[in-house]
Chains A and B, each alone.
Chain A
Amino acid sequence: MDLTSSPNNLSYSELFKDHLANPRNGGELSDANAVAEETNPVCGDRLRLSLRINHGKIETARFLAYGCPPTLVCGSALAEMIEGRTLVDAMNLTRSDIISAIGGLQSRKQHAALLAIETLQAAIRASGGEFELGRD
């Protein structure tokens, strides 16, 4: 399904709906060693990510989100896909990777995927690591 074709297309993919109905890794880690919360200044959507990083690898990731469904779903997809990744791998994730992981996203909603990437990068930076930013 091409979800980028029409600005009036309000439908979401099955993968998207599955993330919304069954969010992966929702919540907050009590023993996180990297935490970030980013806000989209235009729409006010918020994404909070808490990570437990060990030996350069993300062991556990949890997210909290407030905002439109794409923000919740991108948070869920992100928290699921980064577990087990090295920080270098995680830093190289892009907005497109998130969009693919949820089966596509209308172009006017893609800011949610960007918020997810920015929150991830902020959390990794908060852990003290220095990494090259992921790019589309």
Chain B
Amino acid sequence: MRRIYLDHSATTPLDGRVLAAMLPFLNEKFGNASSVHSFGQEARAAVDKTRRQVASLIKARANEIVFTSGGTEANNLAIRGLGEAHHNQGKHIIVSAIEHPSVRGVIDSLEKQGWEITRLPVYDDGLVRLADVGGAIRPDTILISVMMANNEIGTIQPVTEIGEIVREERKHGRRLWFHTDAVQSAGRLAIDVDGLGCDLLTLSAHKIYGPKGTGALYIRRGTKISPQQVGGHQERERRAGTESVANIVGFGVAAELARAEMDERNEHVRRLRDRFEREAAARIDDIVFNGDRDCRLPHLANISFRFIEGEGLLIHLDMQGVAVSTGSACSSGTLEPSPVIRALGRDEERARGAIRFSFGKDNNEDDVDYTVQVLSRAVKSLRELSPLTRETTVSVPSA
């Protein structure tokens, strides 16, 4: 059966060039990067090189990059680490209402421990408003954490402008820091941490055709955080534990390729995504596009199909070889309607009928056309069974 992967916001396949770079470090170059001997120094040199490659992707300095086990750990380290280091100055944090579960989770946990949280609304376009950001800042606010682009609907938040707000506050002597989760946007948007004015920025390797199990936190020079994993001197005492050298090497090559090929990849996936949306809208009635259509990542479409539920559609598509996602991939094992789609003001039916299609560099136009074909059949089949569909009555002849 033909298999088409349209879930690149969940994870991407490992690029062959990345794998080739990793293999020696899974074989003969197995040293511990903390060891003094030549085996160790070989690994250390590779980790240091990667630190420069990853820093280049976001125009940072190499020593501002801390490798982690992934985006989730980096988000935890950023938010809890900064909170613990500065809690004497205030215990108020501002986040958007549609952060990734790894941010929502640590924020909810801090809230239970007595921190106060302001969750910024995103309105029907999925975007935070700068007036809301400015209005939410209090004397005891120490951190603003707003994702660069959303993982379910792809909307791109005004992070540069939020960075300016933070800079202005600092001019008045405020102690305020800014974190952004760039896991979905790295490799898709040009990132310059100085231009952004962020102090902390989260990255993940497996969203840019690198290996799973590796991410990074950018920590601006001079920003104090409390390490969340202790018991070793690695990563300048900011994250203890033996480095996963092969994965880190893969991350570096993936970052370098993402930077070099960003424009070409973006142009390709945007063309596929736009073709998909155009064809789907032409062939399927009663669909709702979720999130701002202009200010969003180029590879992603999120659509609510009225009268039906997303998981049934996902399994229908999967049986035809097409892999997509309902809600966030991390939360699709639950029965909860997507909180991101709900935050757009959509009702429960539209939230339950939302599907994310995320295209990648290896997809092509045939993939799009096949997907639209099986999608329109699956939607028709499910709507015929739905009591919510206006034309539901199907009569059968009397026996």
Contacts and interface: CB of A to CB of B under 8 A. Distances in A.
Interface of A: 8, 10, 12, 17, 20-21, 23, 26-31, 37, 43-44, 46, 48, 52, 59-60, 62-69, 72, 75
A133 B387 CA distance: 26
B311 A68 contact: yes
A83 to B, nearest CB: 10
A60 B385 CA distance: 17
Contacts of A59: 399
Top 10 nearest A-B pairs (CB, nearest first) are A27-B394, A30-B395, A64-B387, A69-B312, A26-B385, A66-B386, A48-B387, A43-B335, A28-B393, A68-B311
Contacts of A72: 312, 382, 385
16 contacts: A17-B315, A20-B315, A21-B319, A23-B381, A27-B392, A27-B394, A27-B396, A29-B396, A31-B398, A64-B385, A64-B387, A68-B309, A69-B309, A72-B312, A72-B382, A72-B385
In this complex, the interface size class of chain B, counting residues with CB under 8 Å from chain A, is 20 to 34
A66 B319 contact: no
A17 to B, nearest CB: 6
B42 interface: no
Contact of A69 (B315, B333, B352, B396): B315
B83 to A, nearest CB: 30
B319 A30 contact: no
B348 interface: yes
A46 B386 CA distance: 9
A66 B307 contact: yes
Contacts of A52: 398-399
Contacts of B385: 23, 26-27, 63-65, 72, 75
B316 interface: yes
Contacts of A27: 384-385, 392-396
Given A21-B319, A31-B398, A72-B385, A66 B311 contact: no
Given A43-B335, A62-B394, A66-B307, A20 B386 contact: no
Given A46-B387, A48-B387, A68-B335, A60 B396 contact: yes
B-side interface mostly: loop
Given A27-B394, A27-B396, A29-B395, A66 B388 contact: yes
B146 interface: no
A23 B335 CA distance: 22
* Most B Cβ at <10 Å: residue of A48, A60, A66: A66
Contacts of B352: 44
B396 A66 contact: no
* Most B Cβ at <10 Å: residue of A8, A17, A64: A64
B309 A60 contact: no
A98 to B, nearest CB: 17
A110 B185 CA distance: 39
Contacts of B382: 72
A59 B388 CA distance: 26
Given A8-B333, A23-B381, A69-B311, 13 more contacts: A20-B315, A26-B384, A26-B394, A27-B384, A27-B395, A28-B393, A30-B396, A60-B396, A63-B385, A64-B387, A65-B387, A66-B387, A69-B315
A29 B396 CA distance: 6
Nearest to B388: A66
Given A37-B387, A44-B348, A46-B387, A20 B399 contact: no
Interface in B374-392: 381-382, 384-388, 392
A122 B152 CA distance: 39
A68 to B, nearest CB: 5
Contacts of A67: 309, 312
Contacts of A23: 381, 385
Contacts of B395: 27-30
Contacts of B308: 66
A21 B392 contact: no
Contacts of A17: 315, 319
A6 B312 CA distance: 21
A10 to B, nearest CB: 6
Contacts of B393: 27-28, 30
Contacts of B316: 20-21
B387 A62 contact: no
Given A27-B384, A68-B335, A62 B396 contact: yes
A59 B398 CA distance: 10
Contacts of B388: 46, 66
